[in-house]
Structure 1
Amino acid sequence: MNVFRSLKYRNFKLFFYGQSISLIGTWMQKTAVSWLVYRLTGSALLLGLVSFASLIPSLVLSPYAGSMVDRHNRYKILVITQVVSMLQAGALAFMLFFKVYNIPAIIGLSLLQGIINAFDITTRQAMMSEMVTNRNDLPNAIALNSTMTNIARIAGPAIAGIVLSTFGEDACFFGNFFSYIPVLACLFMMKLSTTALPRPQKSIWVELQDGFKYVSGDRDLSSLIIMLTVSSLFVIPFNTLMPIFAKDIFNGDAKTFSWFESAAGLGSVISAIYLATLKTDKHIIKVMTIASLVFGLSVMLLGYAAKLPIALLFMTMTGIGMMAQTSTINTYIQTHAVPSMRARAISYYVMAYQGMIPIGSLLIGWLANSLGPRGAVCVEGVIGVLSTGLFVLYKRRQAGDAMFFRKTALAGK
């Protein structure tokens, strides 16, 4: 089985290469923002607030973005989001270059990036089926896309750690600004067969309702989205406290913080490569369940890791679990949602994933002030394990109900 088989599609290959460079810049900026805010303020709550601002638009705007993407040319939307993201990165870079250390401005620009991402992520995911035309290769493309994202998660923070200690935060932001040049060049080289979209017969608000009815009416889709919502709200935000672990608990610096991000990225790449080798999506729910359990346990153990190498090992395990959990849910939605509802179904995935993390970041910031960072991370891991157990019980009950109805139908004959 060819792990890179989806790269035979020219459009996806261009997308893959362009995004690979851009995402390294994105992770450089993300690392630099977190480090800068904590260096200037020393506040776990403000760390959570910055994360909240960058992700909360996904909660509010994702369903609207899904309907917009289903109604308009996805390629044009993607070009617009990349250009505006480039301008946002440039604004941050010049602000820091001129030594304007303004926390409200940083939060405001993070909010702008969150608004852009609400449309950008939904568009990129919905375009997968246009770039990879064979449905059998779509799971491989999603896994490769996740691999690309998480290799950038290793390289970006690692480069940021060096750049931060050598040149300062503004150099990371300039790096992100220039990283958008290759992705835009690759987008302009793509040749997508974009057909004219029919004039919408329904208002966008009616389409929003149709999307919600479709997702909530499918028990498999809705249960996976609920599972992801719980994880994004109560487990994934543990990462918000990693600057505190690096600086205060393990007495490190910016490089130490970058090790935590890179460790999680390494685990994610391992997980993504495994998913790319799967021949079918037949056992995708089982893989998701095991991944969720691994994720919860590793977060719980990370909370009280005594030594830095042990903490980095558990951080790697969190990357394995979290990536497999989110990617398998994404793959299920991409391969099972009907084409006319795909972008709207994906938008609920984005809302559950990106939209809940900001609220969770505020919660863990508050929890860290009450229980300390170690206690807060441990609690999040326990919630992850318990939610996995509840999901397993629900699926068993669902399977039992299905078997009961089959037996009843056979008896009626």
Structure 2
Amino acid sequence: MFRSLRVRNYRLYAAGQVVSNTGTWMQRVAQDWLVLELAHGSGTALGITTGLQFLPMLLFGLWGGVIADRYPKRRILVLTQVAMGVLALILGLLAITGAAQVWHVYVLAFGLGLATVVDNPARQSFVVEMVGKRDLPNAIALNSATFNGARLLGPAVAGVLIALIGTGPVFLVNAASFGAVLFGLYAMRPEELSSAPPVKRAKGQLREGLSYVRGRRDLMLVLILIGFLAMFGMNFATTVALVAKETFHTDSAAFGVASSMLALGALSGALLAARRVARPRLRMLVAMGLLFSVLEVVTGLMPTYWTFVILLVPTGIAMMSIMTAANATMQLGVAPEMRGRVMALYMLVFLGSNPIGAPAIGWMAEEFGARTGLVLGGLISALAAIAVGVMALPRGSVGPALARVRRRPGPPSAGSASREAGSA
């Protein structure tokens, strides 16, 4: 299960990610709570903040993949981690001094999104340079486990700290956590990295990446499925906060517990995925998508806070299972020189679709009840999974199958039975 950790460079990377991701999840909880305080519980403001953080991915995400293919990924990651740490420091100082306003959070969230545009494809495609193609599926799953282990710890710690000392110090802790990643990158042995040759600057490289994916039907169907699930089904930063605060009238500590339970499920799903060796098939992705969608709807209908929290665990398992499987499918199915651009497109669809879904889900939750965001998001995700399942069938198989069903003889009607009896 942990075979990728035998690689020294990956151990350094993973250790830094544990620290940094914990700080990142602490900041996410603190940011959501700060917006709710500054905007007087506005779900629309919360959705706008989330959307602005992911909007740069929608606008510039593909260019991040081009950069990841052109330049050394280790160097790119050093620059992006420094930028993210500075943004967290600024937000922390604003919150501590009492000068923070909603528009400050909007601007800094957008800045964080700009850094993420370059960071995500470089980080995703850097994994194979550390561990090689053979251990790539295991490393992807362990990355998810690391991310969600931090997601389990971070919100709980953040909820307690917010209740005790406010949101400002939480942002400062996150700013300091980026030092762990920078140390890990610095301490790596470059000669042990299997770095792909940088792609030389040339015209049409962005179009080349798009054409490559467009010509791969399997990759296109994965992108469609993940796009709908991310746009409508995975807006938990908005929906869980609103249900915890508006439906069950809980405080920041209870919100942190709910986020941690979702993370517990996601961590379990990632560890289960680490045991898999074979590349998942598309039909498995469709089944995972349907299961996740049903669980989200059921979670949104839970009558009490504790039943709601308990159902977040299997929902998190299903969510992380499909996320890990989709990521592995994309990375294992592409040429090395295309990996940065393909993963940029994947991250654009996965994260960049959020600016479309998050404000809409937040508005619907505010207008029609906090539960609406979860229930409606799950229903739309289920329809998307069914549609992709139909599209994944071999071409030309749907029509003949329906024709066979129509030609299949049914039981005789009462009238025909009496006529047969009369003629006998």
TM-score, normalised via structure 1 length:
0.92
Q: Please tell me whether residue 37 in structure 1 is matched to residue 40 in structure 2.
A: no
Q: 1:383 maps to which residue?
A: 380
Shift of 1:238: 4.5
Cα deviation, 1:328-354, whole Å, max 9, x if unaligned, reads: 111011111111111111011100111
Deviation at 1:30, TM superposition (A): 0.4
The AA in structure 2 aligned to 1:23 is N
Using the alignment, how far apart are the partners of 1:132 and 1:253 within structure 2? 43
Which residue in 1 is equivalent to 2:347?
350
Contact residue 158 and residue 255 of structure 1 kept, 8 A: yes
- In 2, the alpha carbon distance for the partners of 1:199 and 1:141 equals 24
Q: Across the two proteins, how many residue pairs are aligned to each other?
A: 397
Equivalent position to 1:300, from 290, 297, 301: 297
For 1:199 and 1:66, locate their aligned partners in 2 and report how far apart those are by CA, in whole Å.
11
Distance 1:189 1:132 in 2: 16
* 1:16 alignment counterpart: 14
The aligned residue for residue 275 of structure 1 is: 273
How far, CA to CA, are the matches of 2:308 and 2:18 in structure 1?
28
Matched residue SS, 1:58: helix
Q: For residue 334 of structure 2, what is the aligned residue in structure 1?
A: 337
Determine the C-alpha separation between the residues in 2 that align with 1:234 and 1:199.
35
- After TM superposition, give the deviation of residue 199 of structure 1 in Å: 7.0
Equivalent residue number for residue 264 of structure 1? 262
Residues 283, 389 of structure 2: 8 Å contact kept: no
Structure 1 stretch 193-202 or stretch 213-222: which is displaced more? 193-202
Is it true that 1:312 corresponds to 2:333 in the alignment? no
1:287 pairs, out of 262, 284, 287, with 284
Alignment of 1:7-406 (within 5 A): 7-41=5-39, 42-133=41-132, 135-193=133-191, 197=197, 200=200, 202-203=202-203, 206-281=204-279, 283-398=280-395, 400=397
In 1, Cα distance between equivalents of 2:329 and 2:243: 35
Q: Deviations over 1:69-104 (max 9, x none)?
A: 101111110000011111111111111111112110
More displaced 10-residue stretch of structure 1: 208-217 or 299-308: 299-308
Whether contact under 8 Å (2:42, 2:366) holds in the other structure is no
Aligned CA distance change for structure 1 residues 198 and 49 (closer, same or farther; 3 Å):
closer
SS in 2 for 1:108: helix
Mapped to 1, the partners of 2:128 and 2:134 lie a distance apart of 11
Superposed CA RMSD in Å reads 1.8
Contact between 1:58 and 1:115, CA under 8 Å: does it hold in 2? yes
Distance (Å, rounded) in 2 between the aligned partners of 1:304 and 1:198: 50
How many Å separate the matches in 2 of 1:336 and 1:101?
45
Q: Is the 1:38–1:243 Cα contact (8 Å) retained in structure 2?
A: no
Runs of 4+ in structure 1 off by over 6 angstroms are none
Cα 1:196/1:158, change in 2 over 3 Å: closer
Matched to 1:256, the amino acid is A
Alpha-carbon contact 1:59-1:351 (below 8 Å) kept: yes
**Residues 320, 199 of structure 1: CA spacing in aligned structure 2 closer, same or farther, 3 A cutoff?**
closer
TM-superposition CA deviations, 1:89-145 (whole Å, max 9, x none): 111111111111211011100100011011111111010110012x22110000000
Gaps of 5+ in 1: 405-413
Deviation per residue, 1:288-308 (Å, 9 max, x gap): 222211210111112221011
Of stretches 33-42 and 235-244 in structure 1, the one that deviates more from structure 2 is 235-244
Unaligned segments of structure 2, at least 5 residues = 402-424
Structure 1 CA distance for aligned equivalents of residues 38 and 65 of structure 2: 37
Pairwise CA distance, 1:318: 2.1
Instruction: Give % identity.
Output: 31
**8 A Cα contact 1:36 1:169, kept in partner:** yes
Larger Rg: 2
Q: Work out whether residues 294 and 317 of structure 1, in 8 Å CA contact, stay in contact via their aligned partners in 2.
A: no
CA distance in 1, matches of 2:73, 2:167: 33
Relative to the length of structure 2, the TM-score reads 0.90
Question: Would the alpha carbon gap of residues 352 and 154 (structure 1) be closer, same or farther in structure 2, given more than 3 Å must change?
Answer: same
Distance 1:202 1:179 in 2: 37
